[in-house]
Structure 1
């Protein structure tokens, strides 16, 4: 299985959510690569998968206006589909979804995660799912307009839409002066992961054994976009960054404690 982790590390730095797109169709070569990437991502986990829909997602957003306004003009979208709500499936859904987001960025394409405000029935009909499956998120993809829309300008003027918490705010555990050389780069990559409403609910604990544990703030809080999906996106950024630094490791899932940990090999 071939996933472009090196390219994705660069994409982490340049990716920005966009909500308005031109009508230009995605170039054929890019479509082919995106489909190949989806096939590889869909082999990673059971119970989650991606589908590429080569038509406008506008019908999926009819009557669904989120806190940041409508998304318009995209020529295509990705659907994130999940079968079961257990065994960290939301994390796995976020992981593979962010993989295709970063791959799209490498083709000059813009995207925007939408997990709360869209018509799930219309999406399910367009995507084609089994009775056991649910479309948990849609990700419009296309070429963003050169100039920001009025809504996007307002979001930037507010000043908190792209603002990230400092490393000190999101990391605990081993003092920074004792970190391995690669750890700061990995944590900074994780801190750039998008989250619903930019809530940044994921924090990190650095263990003495070169481990990174991802915790969710107020995990029992009911939200229309499960926080596990945010954690899965952060996991993908950690996976990409550790691969970039040639650090091998594995993910450890603790169901009872609701923790996910990346354990680096010695």
Structure 2
């Protein structure tokens, strides 16, 4: 891992939290308890831990926005109606525009979401189904910033069957097989799970990550006989798909967070770098970042 990357302190194994995290769309409406709110605010204010993208991207900031901050007219314009019910608080962030701004934002917000999961809170990535201008106004977005995504945060209403129905309709629990996501040497040679040894868990945690419309756009190439992994996203050159490309950059930030946090927990040492390799079959993919193991 990059020397100097601050390791998040979770009370549960990160691999358990990744498995436990789910998209919660129904909340009890109960306000956050004061100690929980203070812990969450402290986390948001101290999110400046280094990550694989921090030296390539600009600053990110987050705020906890409560429903009481919206007037009745604004509440009707949140843009989350029919998607989120009962949420009383939202985590809203802004990132300064830069080449890797969305990847950095995705990494940090997913780390915050896993920390929220650790203290018993529900969350749900929202990249499109919210009133971006309204939430941007609430956190005083500057001209050189944008708000890529937000998440409600609160207590899950497990008695509400909506979540189960929605997850079933979008097949949220379905994941592509290894052979569809991970490769060795090039994009035509699937990576055999049994050959990945200690890295199997890291890749499995990537596989379990959330993504926009559950598209799972991440693809990883392992170099032959080397512990070097190159991270890509499925990328469309068509103008009609640019919106999906934007969300996929958030998704790869999530994937990198799962890989990196799991490596830290398991004591697997390595370094992140950006240096696009010449790999056969990469025409329909966008290179993002690479990781090299120390051993």
TM-score range, shorter chain: 0.7 to 0.9
Change (3 A) 1:204 1:51: same
Report which of the two structures shows the higher radius of gyration computed on alpha carbons.
2
Q: CA deviation at 1:48?
A: 3.8
Aligned residue pairs, count: 262
* Counterpart pick for 1:202 among 218, 224, 236: 218
For 1:105, the equivalent position in structure 2 comes to 117
Structure 2: how far apart are the matches of 1:189 and 1:60? Answer: 36
The change in CA–CA distance for 1:60 and 1:179 in structure 2 (over 3 A counts) is farther
The corresponding residue for 1:14 is: 20
2:90 to 69, 74, 77: 77
Aligned CA distance change for structure 1 residues 233 and 177 (closer, same or farther; 3 Å): closer
The equivalent residue for 1:135 is 147
SS in structure 1 opposite 2:229? strand
Do the aligned partners of 1:94 and 1:230 also contact (CA within 8 Å) in 2? yes
Q: Can you give the 5+ residue segments of structure 2 that lack an aligned partner in the other structure? A: 1-5, 186-190, 278-285
Aligned match of 2:202 in 179, 183, 186? 186
C-alpha separation in 1, matches of 2:77 and 2:193? 51
By how many angstroms is 1:85 displaced? 4.0
Superposed counterparts of 1:207-218, under 5 Å: 207=223, 208-218=225-235
What is the match of residue 281 of structure 2?
none
TM-score of the pair, normalised by structure 2: 0.80
Shifted more, 104-113 versus 48-57: the winner is 48-57
Q: CA deviation at 1:260?
A: 1.0
1:3–1:65 distance in 2 versus 1, CA, 3 Å = closer
**Cα distance, 1:219–1:242 mapped onto 2, change above 3 Å:** farther
Match of 1:173 in 2: 184
Partner of 2:160: 148
- Cα RMSD over matched residues? 2.5
Counterpart in the other structure of 2:283? none
Q: Report if the CA contact (8 A) 2:93-2:149 is conserved.
A: yes
Q: Residues 54 and 171 from structure 1, CA distance in 2 versus in 1: closer, same or farther, beyond 3 angstroms?
A: same
Q: Distance in 1 between matches of 2:41 and 2:7?
A: 13
